[in-house]
Structure 1
Amino acid sequence: MQRPEPLAFPPTRLVTTSMELAELCARLATEGFVTVDTEFMRERTYWPELCVVQLGGSEDVAVVDAQAEGLDLSPLGHLLANPNVVKVFHAARQDVEIFLLKYGAVPTPMFDTQIAAMVAGYGDQASYDSLARGLAGAAIDKAHRFSDWSARPLSEAQVDYAAADVTHLRVIYQKLVEQLSREGRLDWVAAEMAALQDPAGYIQAPETAWEKLRPRTGNRRFLSILRAVAAWREREAQRINIPRQRLVKDETLLEIAATTPSNAAELARARGISEGFAKGKSGLSLVAAIAEARALPDTALPEMRENRPGPVASPALVALLKVLLAAKSEAHNVAPRLLANSEDLDRLATEAAPDVPALKGWRREVFGEAALALKAGRLALGVDGRRVKLLET
């Protein structure tokens, strides 16, 4: 197959003043779509520190220095909220989180080319590099991927690297839309964008942070202390604006949940906890959180999801559903992870009508109905040469 020829793009502009940004956003507001990317730092902070915003239009390629002195970023917020301009991202979640924190709203309408590529058959989590090569005939220079974007001045090489993330994205977007429109799958992408634009998807309650630590015990009293200290770490890291692991490491939280220190001296015995920290404001508030959790009645204690009462999924049935998932993914040329995840399969195996994405919308049509038929014995799996085939029974 002949590779597409690289396209010429307008020269890149570095935007550092409020007037330049306002004029740029006014021009982009007249276009049907604009490509967007960000460069940020969060190695030293809890909240992401926005450093650079890249914007691509039909006649503009701009790298906005978000940390330029006196720069008013409100025109960018108005552009991101403009209902007449589609904001095109690749792997949008972190970018969207930044804009939600800054402007209090998710960009809308939005199009994520990584999700669209999964719908179009480019596999799970197609990278920007691979799509740029395959659809835009472009090779992405990765030299500045790990730049310190908070350092000033920005180098010419950094600006060029940042601009590449929105120039080739225009071609990728247009070709994906053309393919998906031809295949009648734009509605599939629209359903995914609705979920991506839900602000609730970017907000984690501190009380659920403990579940990510994956404790290897079903002791509910221990889990209660772990829930309390993990929630404390989340709130305290937000307050001080430092990474949660820099405040207290995961293994230290698990140790604290096991030893349940009741005062600063006992807290200071935990690995990674200094005496100064234990006696300071953070340490004393941590001890108070532990005491509050220790006082909870048994009825208020949490439990791990896998330990909660309910039927156990048959490994054989889950394995059959995985084969069906792979077969449907292959037949429809869509990434299997987009159709169903492991939790969906477990619930399909154990519940009559689980409330899972695999049984809703286009996923139900492509995979869900067949999964229910397989479970009910109305469908069997066979082999036809080198492919799995579905047999009605």
Structure 2
Amino acid sequence: MNFEMITDTASLQRVCQLASNHQAVMLDTEFVRTRTLYPKLGLVQLYDGEHLSLIDPIEIDDLTPLWDLLSNPSVTKVLHACSEDLEVFQHYSGLMPTPMVDTQVMAAFLGHGLSTGFASLVEEYLDVTLDKGEARTDWCARPLTPRQMEYAAADVFYLYPLYQLLAEKLAETPWQSAMAEECVSICRKRAKQPDPEKAYLDIKNAWQLRPAQLAVLKKLAKWRLKEAQRRDLALNFVVKELNIWKVARYQIRSLRKMEEEGFDRFEMDRHGKRLISMALEADKMSEEHFPEPISRLVDMPGYKQVVKVVKEQVNAVSEELGFVPEFIGSKKQINQAIKWVWVQDKSPEKRPDLLNGWRGELMADKVLPLLEPK
């Protein structure tokens, strides 16, 4: 397994130009994220079947050649379990790999579990046991050790033959276009940025709050997200989620009350007065500007029975096709379908996964009649 460490833009331009002559390239990233909101990119691995490059984004000031390759429509970018890698690319370049294929998705269309790991597939298909000892290493520290570099190189070196084998097997099925559609959908979802105005909806137990309390939570959650983005700090390192919920729920309007409720001293010193000020502002808001109460599907009449019968349909189709049920309809996707009919009035722009695309072709006729009010 030969590889080249790329530490300057000229070398990066050269290897990306070589890669652009191939139909498909293997990609992976190594990053660190402990207290930050965004991942800190430490390494990018690139393999075109001939040249294996370890690209050092810490040493290279201009990664434009790599971003150009990412958006080259004639070169398929192959990744495994791509979700976090896509987040890295989106943050650093504003781009998604196009076109992109995820070997984990390919494996799912061949009957593997939805979250089958790379090492498991390599062992099954290539009879190679990978060393995962460097998985938790600090990829932003320099210099990288030979073992770190070999570990990183292996992730794309073995991805190449794995991709070829999976592609051959997938070609024997009717699922090639569905696989491509699924990968496009993954990229589209990962490209969406969080809406600060809706950040309060992601707070645990927000549904327990009345509209006036939700107005407070909405203001605090919006500020917390923007502060996290501004400082590149993980949300709970700005202010703990539970604490902004407490401010809204228990009408905390003093530092003394914060202390009684167990707020961290650092949070109080840095943000206590600001949180109180924002809560007091929200208190002055007129009722017509309050958020709507949050209704939960689980509290609606007939919800559990509908979930049960929809799952039965999903399980039946999955068994017939040899897929794991979660791949066709996860709990989240089933809930999205119910919400679409019961709450969203079948809004065309919000059509859910279970009733759309390749899943819709399999499931819509079976599931939609089950969701209509009796």
TM-score bracket for the superposition, by shorter chain length: 0.7 to 0.9
Aligned in 2, Cα 1:55/1:323: closer, same or farther, shift over 3 Å? same
CA contact under 8 A between 1:46 and 1:241: conserved in structure 2? yes
Aligned 1:50-65 pairs, distance under 5 A:
50-65=41-56
Q: Give me the whole-angstrom Cα distance separating, in 1, the residues matched to 2:330 and 2:244.
A: 29
Cα pair 1:121 1:335 within 8 Å, conserved: yes
SS where residue 287 of structure 1 aligns? helix
| 2:299 corresponds to 1:329 | no
Correspondence for 2:216: 225
Determine the C-alpha separation between the residues in 2 that align with 1:160 and 1:245: 35
The one-letter code matched in structure 2 to 1:54 is Q
Aligned to 1:16: 7
Change beyond 3 A, Cα 1:304–1:11: farther
Q: Verify the 8 A CA contact 1:119 1:335 in the aligned structure 2.
A: no
Supply the RMSD in Å over aligned alpha carbons: 2.7
Q: Which amino acid aligns with 2:285?
A: L
Counterpart-to-counterpart distance in 2, 1:36 and 1:312? 47
The question of whether the paired residues in 1 share the 8 Å contact of 2:200 and 2:221 is answered with yes
Does structure 1 residue 339 correspond to structure 2 residue 328?
yes
The 3 A distance-change label for structure 1 pair 121 and 304 is farther
Structure 1's 328 and 235: CA in aligned 2 closer, same or farther, altered over 3 A? same
- Structure 1 residue 147: deviation in Å? 0.4
Query: Which of residues 246, 252, 255 is equivalent to 2:237?
Result: 246
Shift of 1:361: 2.4
Question: Gaps spanning 5+ residues in structure 1: where?
Answer: 1-9, 377-393
Query: In the alignment, which residue of structure 2 is the partner of 1:188?
Result: 178
Whether 1:292 aligns to 2:288 is: no
Determine if the alignment matches structure 1 residue 360 to structure 2 residue 359.
no
Residue deviations 1:38-72 (CA, integer Å, cap 9, x gap): 1111213222111110111111112112112x542
| Corresponding residue of 1:72 | 62
- In structure 2, the partner of 1:306 is 295
CA–CA separation in structure 1 for the residues paired with 2:153 and 2:107 = 21
Distance 1:147 1:123, change over 3 A: same
Query: Which residue in 2 is equivalent to 1:371?
Result: 367
Does 58-67 or 152-161 show the bigger shift? 58-67
Unaligned runs of 5+ in 2: none
| Separation of aligned partners in 2, 1:45 and 1:375 | 41
CA distance in 2, matches of 1:271, 1:338: 42
For normalisation by structure 2, the TM-score amounts to 0.87
| Equivalent position of 1:162 in the other structure | 152
Paired residue secondary structure (1:84): coil
Equivalent residue in structure 2 for 1:107, among 78, 97, 104: 97
Partners of 2:70 and 2:95 within 8 A in 1: no
Q: Secondary structure at the match of 1:198?
A: helix
Query: Structure 2 vs 1, CA of residues 311 and 63 (structure 1 numbering), >3 Å: closer, same or farther?
Result: same
CA distance in 2, matches of 1:368, 1:130: 33
- Mapped to 2, the partners of 1:155 and 1:113 lie a distance apart of 28
Query: Could you tell me which residue of structure 2 aligns to residue 271 of structure 1?
Result: 262
| Distance (Å, rounded) in 2 between the aligned partners of 1:12 and 1:35 | 13
- Tell me which residue corresponds to 1:139: 129
1:38 maps onto 2:34 in alignment = no
Q: CA deviation at 1:208?
A: 2.4
TM-score, with normalisation over the residues of structure 1? 0.84
Letter in 2 for 1:302: P
State the 1:267 CA deviation. 5.2
